[in-house]
Each structure stands twice: as structure tokens, then as C-alpha cells.
Amino acid sequence: MNLKELAAELHLSQTTVSRALNGYPEVSEKTREIVLAAAQRFGYRPSPAARRLATGRAHALGVVFNAERNALMDPLFVEYLAGVAETSAKQGFDILISPSTPRDEIVTFGRLARDGTVDVVILTGPKVADERIALLSELKFPFVVHGRPPDPVGISFIDIDNFGAFQQATSFLIQLGHRRVMLINGEEHFTFAQDRSRGAAVAFAAAGLPSDMLDEHFMPMTAENAYRCARQALESDARPTAILCGSILVALGVLRAAAELGLEVPRDLSIVAHDDEMPAFPADQFHPQLTTTRSSIRAAGTRVAEMALARVAGQKPGAVAEVWPVQLIVRGSTAAAPEKG
């Protein structure tokens, strides 16, 4: 059943039926009701393709995702996607996933923007120098950012307070008496890694401690990388008594390193990790349960999708700039620093 047939059935023109269905004011309430009822009865569903062609709007939202062999953000991504999906589905928006490797990500974005397959894209994990943002801005293609854009002016984004989270976590460790602290951070070119780095540094400065007590490492946040890094540090003479982990996965690697070296957590080593609340990977299911800085990646996904849809509906870029607070949850993986041996 298409519009033409439905219109014929009702002895009305396509115009009127279309308008009735789409809530235009030029049609009387009475006919609208009749049309709506008939549409319902015949199970009429407008063809998305036709509508798309006629309006030039795709009614779809694009998400580019990293399909590289070892997609680091994997478990995060689904949870995030779930959030995005939830709200966009409510508004009848489709979600188009475009796989891409970091190398040709920029091409992928260009294609999305020019093809008209989607009306807006969501950009994740902004970098210190982000050419995707540059490209989309130049093309004047609507987009919103999940994370902190390097230059937020005129860009709608939502981010968690990475700075505050790591400042708080670091201060907490310092208060517990820890002096040699290691930070296993994400890759340097991500803005979130920079923010976290600054947070930790500021905490040290505030406590009047020299910044070289903070041993910071940037790397892709995998368990494997974290294991290697932690193992090496923990075997050294001046081993850290506390490790700040960029993610739960990092904590997994650190835990393994500690276990292998016979170090007990939290007696010999304190661990605090950032937790994005992946239900599959709950911080409280570890042994010991992990002290974390917690934020909901899913809620972020929900919000960023809302923003994207608002953007399509005409909201100005830069209208939204939210930074969500992050909560420190103290569990069993942190304790007072061990007495100096």
C-alpha cells in the first residue's frame, strides 16, 4: 500500500493524505482523523526511500566506528551505541554504522557528509588536532561531539569531567599517603588523556608534591599494554604504591601484573580505575572490588543522540556544551600506602 493507493481508497488527493499524515495545518481535523484511521487500518507505511529523495533528509544518524583489528574501545562502544540507539529509535531515526580504520576515517566522514545518507554524524574521541572536526566544519555538515573538542567554540559537545575525576582520584591517593603514583593513561593525542593528565598533575601540585612523583604513561588502553607497563614498574626499585588506571581494562592488566609478582591489592598496591559503566564488565565484580571514578557511557550516548537530533531539527552548533561530573566510588582496591620498607 502506497500513498497513491491510500489516497484513491479515501477519494482524496495524495497531497491531502500526505499532509494529514505529517501533521500539516492545512487539513481539517476531521479529514485528518479519517486519514489516520485508514492509514492504520491498511497498515500504510511511507517509503523511507521516497521520502528521503523528496525531502533530501535521510532521517538517519551516522556513527563512525573503528573496525581496526583491535578496536580498543570495544566494550565501551556498544554501551554507548545502546544509548544512542535508544533515543534515536524513539524519534524514528535510523542509525548508520560506518566502519572505518583510523587511516581512512577522514574519507569515511567526507563520504557520509556528501552522500546524504545521514543528516548528522556523531563524532567520538576527539583528538588534540582533529581533522574530522575540521573537515565537517568546512563542509558545514551537522555534527556533534562526544568528548571534548580541542576548540569547543561553536561546537556542540558533551563530555565527562575527566580533569576533575583524575584530580579527585589523585588527591584521594595522596591523602592515603601515596607518594609514588603511576598513571596509565590513554593515547596522548586524545583530549580526554590530556585532561586526565592535567587533573593528576594539578592534584600533585596542590599537595605541594614534586611532579616527578607522578609516573605517567600514555598508551592504547588494553589489558595487555597495561600489564606490561605495570609489571615493569612494579619490578623496579622505586615501585609505585598506587596506580591510576584509564579504564577497567587497564585495571585488569594491572591486577594480573600485581598477582604475578605476589603483590596484594590493596595492601601492597592501591588501584583506582576509571569506570564507564559497562554492564558486561562491572568494577564490583573484580577481586578486590575496584575503587573507581564512575560515569555512565550509556547516558552519554543517550544525550549525544538527543543533541544530534536537535541539531537536525535546526539547533545551532555550539548550543550544547555539557560537562558531566564524575563520582569517585571507593571500594576495596585502595588503602593507605604501605609503610616504607
Partner DNA sequence: CTCAGCGTTCAAAGCGCTTTGGAGGTTTTA
Partner DNA sequence: TAAAACCTCCAAAGCGCTTTGAACGCTGAG
Binding site for its own copies (CB under 8 A): 45, 47-50, 52-53, 56, 58, 60, 65, 67, 69-72, 74-75, 77-79, 81-82, 85-86, 88-89, 94-100, 111, 114-117, 222-224, 227, 249, 252-253, 255-256, 259-260, 278-282, 285-287
Going residue by residue from 306 to 335, which x/- string records binding to DNA, judged by CB under 7 A?
Answer: ------------------------------
CA distance 169 to 185: 13
Q: Residue 147 in contact with residue 124, Cβ under 8 Å?
A: yes
Query: Least distance in Å: CB of 58 to DNA?
Result: 13
Query: Least distance in Å: CB of 53 to DNA?
Result: 4
DSSP state of 63: E
Q: Residue 56 in contact with residue 277, Cβ under 8 Å?
A: no
Which residue's CB is nearer to DNA, number 114 or number 287?
A: 114
Which residue's CB is nearer to DNA, number 15 or number 236?
A: 15
Q: Are strands 327-329 and 291-294 parallel, antiparallel or unpaired?
A: antiparallel
What backbone torsions phi and psi does residue 279 show, to the nearest 5 degrees? -65, -25
Query: Least distance in Å: CB of 61 to DNA?
Result: 19
| Residue 168 CB neighbours (<10 A) | 19
Residue type, 98: S
Query: Least distance in Å: CB of 287 to its own copies?
Result: 4
Which residues from 5-64 bind DNA, rule CB under 7 A?
Answer: 11-16, 18-19, 21-22, 26-31, 44-47, 50-51, 53-56
Query: Least distance in Å: CB of 55 to DNA?
Result: 5
CA distance 188 to 7: 60
12 binding partner (options its own copies, DNA, none; Cβ < 5 to 8 Å by kind): DNA
18 binding partner (options DNA, its own copies, none; Cβ < 5 to 8 Å by kind): DNA
3-state secondary structure of 308: helix
DSSP state of 323: E
300 binding partner (options DNA, its own copies, none; Cβ < 5 to 8 Å by kind): none
CA distance 19 to 16: 5
299 CB contacts (<8 Å, ≥6 apart)? Answer: 83, 324
Which residue's CB is nearer to DNA, number 54 or number 313?
A: 54
Q: What residues form DSSP beta bridges with 323?
A: 159
Query: Least distance in Å: CB of 122 to its own copies?
Result: 13
Q: Residue 83 in contact with residue 298, Cβ under 8 Å?
A: yes
Query: Least distance in Å: CB of 235 to its own copies?
Result: 16
Which residue's CB is nearer to DNA, number 11 or number 140?
A: 11
315 binding partner (options DNA, its own copies, none; Cβ < 5 to 8 Å by kind): none
Residue 181, classified by CB atoms within 10 Å of its CB into exposed (0-12), middle (13-18) or buried (19+), is buried
Which residues from 253-312 bind DNA, rule CB under 7 A?
Answer: none
Burial letters 271-293, b for 16+ CB under 10 A, else e: bbbbbbbbeebebeebebebbbb
Residues that bind DNA (CB under 7 A): 2-4, 11-16, 18-19, 21-22, 26-31, 44-47, 50-51, 53-56
